[in-house]
A and B are shown apart, each in its own frame.
Chain A
């Protein structure tokens, strides 16, 4: 039971075989990571300071990018470590309880859901695929640079915009083909909103931001399909990330595996 000054951060739920050793990991807020066992399952938790992770503090801290990054990476690192030992159901960031007792009650209440999720995820990994519209080539200027400067500029600018629009439309259509093909190789798929150019770190617009739950034995086939799609669709650049813990396939109804 955590003391009053502390609360309990929840990382993941596993079967109780996948539990990491007690002192093996440092978690969110530099807290020791430990298992809480009930109903044949283990909740992987860590103690965190209430003054940093209590409700009011969390609301404030979640808007601090440095804090958010440290916390997200620490949360992810623990889930990854658990996931290397066996299937794990990851929790959304900032799932915090007052005490161990609250976690144990939740674990018992939802045990059938967790067991179902663990068996569904056991042989799968999540892969991320993002597609960007490839940069449009330089616009053609049929009159050459000899025309009047103002007119030439306007014509060139219009051609540039048209070419960008066409490139983006072509890439968007390509993204649908990519998503359909990759969905066909996956147990389940989930679309995220495209990341804004500033956030993605890419100037080119993102036209696909998707996650796929893929059977482990089909991982090679999946990667090869991404390569093949990259070669066939010059209007896009594709990026593959992973394998990820199955964050995208344990949440709401749009991610429950019944989607396809």
Chain B
């Protein structure tokens, strides 16, 4: 079974799918303000928040 999730104007887009794209995709230009942020790994910085928020859930589920 294929699950189809329309991306257009749709709040059902999974945040994690969106973050894959807006943090790891897109044209990378060092904006003047974000010059040094572009040097650190934006994905790592931002996904830390996501990982922290789900880690409790993951610990409960993950008996592998």
Cβ 8 A contact of B34, one of A90, A95, A249:
A95
Q: Is A230's CB under 8 angstroms from B27's CB?
A: no
Q: Is A93's CB under 8 angstroms from B23's CB?
A: yes
Q: Is A92's CB under 8 angstroms from B18's CB?
A: no
Which of A32-40, A145-153, A194-202 lies at the interface with chain B? Answer: A194-202
Q: Is B48's CB under 8 angstroms from A63's CB?
A: yes
Name B62's closest neighbour in chain A (CB-CB): A197
Contacts of A209 in B (CB 8 A): 20
Q: Mark B11-44, 1 if CB is under 8 A from A, else 0.
A: 1011111111111111111011111110000100
Q: Mark B43-64, 1 if CB is under 8 A from A, else 0.
A: 0011011111111011001101
Cβ 8 A contact of B26, one of A59, A65, A93, A190:
A93
Contacts of B35 in A (CB 8 A): 55
Interfacial residues of chain A within 55-106, with CB under 8 A of chain B in the complex:
55, 58-59, 62-65, 68-69, 72-73, 75-77, 80, 84, 89-99, 102, 106
Q: Count contacts on B: residues with CB < 8 A to the other chain.
A: 50
Q: Take A59-B45, A80-B7, A251-B28 as given contacts and tell me if A227 and B2 are in contact as well, using a CB distance cutoff of 8 Å.
A: yes
Q: Mark A1-38, 1 if CB is under 8 A from B, else 0.
A: 00000010010010000000000000000000000000
Is A164 positioned at the interface, with any CB of B under 8 Å from its CB?
yes
Q: Is B25's CB under 8 angstroms from A55's CB?
A: no
Contacts of B9 in A (CB 8 A): 77, 80
Q: Is B34's CB under 8 angstroms from A203's CB?
A: no
Q: Is A238's CB under 8 angstroms from B2's CB?
A: yes
Contacts of A92 in B (CB 8 A): 22-23, 25-29, 42
Q: Is B34's CB under 8 angstroms from A55's CB?
A: yes
Whole-angstrom distance between the Cβ of A51 and the nearest chain B Cβ: 12
Q: Is B20's CB under 8 angstroms from A192's CB?
A: yes
Contacts of B23 in A (CB 8 A): 72, 92-93
- B-side residues, CB < 8 A to A, are 1-9, 11, 13-29, 31-37, 42, 45-46, 48-55, 57-58, 61-62, 64
- A-side residues, CB < 8 A to B, are 7, 10, 13, 50, 53-55, 58-59, 62-65, 68-69, 72-73, 75-77, 80, 84, 89-99, 102, 106, 110, 117, 128, 130, 164, 190, 192, 195-201, 203, 205, 209, 211, 223, 226-227, 230, 237-245, 247-252, 255
